[in-house]
Amino acid sequence: MTGVEVDQIQLNFSPAGLAVINGVIGLMMFGVALDMKLGDFKKILVKPKAPLIGLGAQFLLLPALTWCLTMALDLQPSIALGMILVAACPGGNLSNLMTYLAGGNTAVSVTMTAISTIAAVVMTPLNLSLWGGLNPTTAPILTAVSLDPIDVFTTVFLILGVPMSLGLFVGHRWPRLVERIRKPFKIATVVIFVGVVAAALGANWTYFVHAVGLVMLVVALHNALAITVGYTAGRVAGLSRYDTRAVAIEVGIQNSALGLVLVFSFFDGLGGMAIVTAWWGVWHIISGLTLAAVWGRRPVNSGALGADAVTEAG
């Protein structure tokens, strides 16, 4: 299958299917908010360094370096724009579990997920428009669909902002109920989402098989870049390895579910974008769990105050 054909593919995804995935993502964000407390946001005021470094890597460094990567590689425009879209998305909620398994600072991870999700309402459409427009091969796609950042802002706000606000309210108003339901609720929504994505891939399996070889390599490289950006930013900024692990995983685990919604809402399921975004959702779980397994066997001192104070075992 040639590059032109990949760019011309439009994956099959019905309006009803899009409504389902929108609803599932909303439920997932509601579940994330059930884990949050207003006190989590106050932590940034008390100890802001690690979350702020992570957010800078998430929304500034990663999109910029992704643009550099798309300029350096000879990629089909739709694949390149899919990479830029993924880089513009906030951290995914699976990062919190993976940070815990990796022996990183889970509090930093949860705080970054919360703040990045809120910031994504503005930063996702901004980064997509900015970096997509600066790449001469992807800019025509944005022009062809007449992408309006305000429309993207509205969509992201409805999918992320509203459910998180409701989750925060419910968690504050009925804390005992939330304590009983939050874990099974989150597990159920993740399982449902995986089922929806699997159904979408099944309906477009022929396209996926033809394009996945190149996409697998591109996504693996891009994901390695994201993890490296997060880890390097943390170490250069003088964070402990305990905090740096959280930042690296948070930057490496993107909310690809949001990316899929944007692909089908604004780009009519454009093949390269959809396949990159869908495969990222699979690959970052594999890479994240692998990294967590390696780091989990090398514990770090959670009480360390700086990079030089950290000792590793094994």
Residue 90 has which token pair?
């906030």
**Of 155 and 227, more confident:** 227
CB atoms within 10 A of CB 46: 7
Which CATH number does the domain housing residue 176 bear? 1.20.1530.20
21 within a domain of the structure (yes/no): no
Report the distance separating Cα 121 and Cα 118, nearest Å: 6
Q: Which residue has the higher pLDDT, 83 or 203?
A: 83
Alpha carbon distance 138, 126 (integer Å)? 15
pLDDT at 71: 95
Structure tokens belonging to residue 76: 């089909």
pTM for this model (two decimals)? 0.78
Q: At what angle do helices 241-252 and 271-296 cross, to 10 degrees?
A: 160
Name the more confident of 227 and 116. Answer: 227
DSSP symbols for 91-150:
B-THHHHHHHHTT--HHHHHHHHHHHHHHHHHHHHHHHHHHHHHSTTTHHHHHHTT--HH
Of the candidates 233, 305, 210, 142, which has an alpha carbon nearest to the alpha carbon of residue 6? 210
Cα–Cα distance between 230 and 247 in angstroms, integer? 5
What does the alpha-carbon distance between residue 6 and residue 16 come to, in Å, rounded to a whole number?
25
pLDDT of residue 224: 97
Q: Is residue 14 part of a domain?
A: no
**Residue range 78-94: mean pLDDT, rounded:** 90
The 8 Å CB, 24+ separation contacts for 63-66 are: 63/87, 63/88, 63/127, 63/130, 63/131, 64/131, 65/225, 65/229, 66/131, 66/222, 66/225
* Cα 79 from Cα 58, distance rounded (Å): 20
* pLDDT tens for each residue of 229-245: 999 999 999 999 999 99
Q: How confident is the model at residue 16 (pLDDT cuts 50, 70, 90)?
A: low
Any domain includes 47: yes
Instruction: Label residue 187 left, alpha or beta by phi (over 0 means left) and psi (-120 to 50 means alpha).
Output: alpha
Give me the domain span that covers residue 282. Answer: 32-299
Q: What is the pLDDT of residue 69?
A: 96
What pLDDT is attached to residue 1?
Answer: 42
Taking each continuous run of H as one helix and of E as one strand, the counts in the chain are 16, 0
Q: Tell me, yes or no, whether 11 lies in a domain.
A: no
- Over range 245-251, report the average pLDDT: 95
Name the residue type at position 132.
G
Please tell me the total count of domains within the chain: 1
pLDDT tens string 18-74 = 677 777 777 777 877 776 666 656 666 777 888 899 999 999 999 999 999 999 998
Question: What pLDDT is stored for residue 204 in this prediction?
Answer: 66
Tens digits of residue pLDDT in 91-149: 877 787 788 888 888 778 878 887 888 888 889 989 999 999 999 999 998 887 766 77
Distance CA 266, CA 242 (A): 39
Q: Are residues 241 and 173 in contact, defined by beta-carbon separation less than 8 angstroms?
A: no
**If you count them, how many residues does the chain have?**
314
- Asked, for residue 80, whether it belongs to a domain, the answer is yes
pLDDT of residue 262: 86
Q: pLDDT tens, 206-219? A: 766 666 677 889 99
Q: Is residue 231 part of a domain?
A: yes
Answer yes or no: is 136 within a domain. yes
Residue 146: inside a domain, yes or no? yes
% of residues, the chain, pLDDT over 90: 29
* % of the chain at pLDDT higher than 70: 81
The pLDDT assigned to 302 comes to 65
Summary mean pLDDT of the chain: 81
- 242-254 in b/e burial notation, b at 16+ Cβ within 10 A? bbbbbbbbbbbbb
